[in-house]
Chain A
Amino acid sequence: MEIAFTLNGEAKRLTVSPATLLVELLRDGLHLTGTHIGCDTSQCGACNVLLDGEPVKSCTLLAVQCDGRTVTTVEGLAKGEALHPMQAAFREHHGLQCGFCTPGMIMAGIGIAKRHGRDISRETIAHELEGNLCRCTGYQNIVTAIQAGAKEMADA
Chain B
Amino acid sequence: MREFAYAKPASLADAASAYASGGEAALLAGGHTLIPAMKSRLRQPDTLVDLNAIPGLDAIAVEGDRLWVGALARHAAVAASPVVAKAIPALACLAAGIGDPQVRVRGTMGGSVANNDPAADYPAAVLAMDAVVETDRGAHAADDFFQGMFTTALDDGEIIARIGFRVPQAAAYAKFRHPASRYAIVGVFVAKYAGGHRVAVTGAGPGVFRWADAEAALDAGGSLDALALDPSELNTDIHASADYRAALCVTMLKRAAAQI
Contacts and interface: CB of A to CB of B under 8 A. Distances in A.
Nearest to B74: A54
A45 B35 contact: no
Interface residues of B, number: 25
B6 A1 contact: yes
A48 B105 CA distance: 12
Interface in B43-63: 48, 50, 52
A25 to B, nearest CB: 13
B106 A56 contact: yes
A19 B180 contact: no
Nearest to A128: B101
Contacts of B8: 64, 67
A64 B6 contact: yes
Given A17-B3, A21-B1, A43-B180, A61 B35 contact: yes
B102 A57 contact: yes
A146 B101 CA distance: 15
A18 interface: yes
12 contacts: A18-B3, A18-B4, A18-B5, A18-B6, A19-B2, A43-B180, A56-B102, A62-B6, A62-B35, A67-B8, A130-B100, A131-B103
Contact of B101 (A43, A62, A65, A111): A111
A55 interface: yes
A43 B32 CA distance: 11
Interface string B166-208: 0000000000000011100000000000000000000000000
Interface of A: 1, 17-19, 21, 40-43, 45, 48, 51, 54-57, 60-62, 64-65, 67, 108, 111-112, 115, 128, 130-132
A62 B100 contact: no
B148 interface: no
B120 to A, nearest CB: 15
Contacts of B6: 1, 18, 62, 64
Interface string B102-142: 11011000000000000000000000000000000000000
A144 B4 CA distance: 44
B23 interface: no
A60 B3 contact: no
B101 A130 contact: yes
A17 B6 CA distance: 9
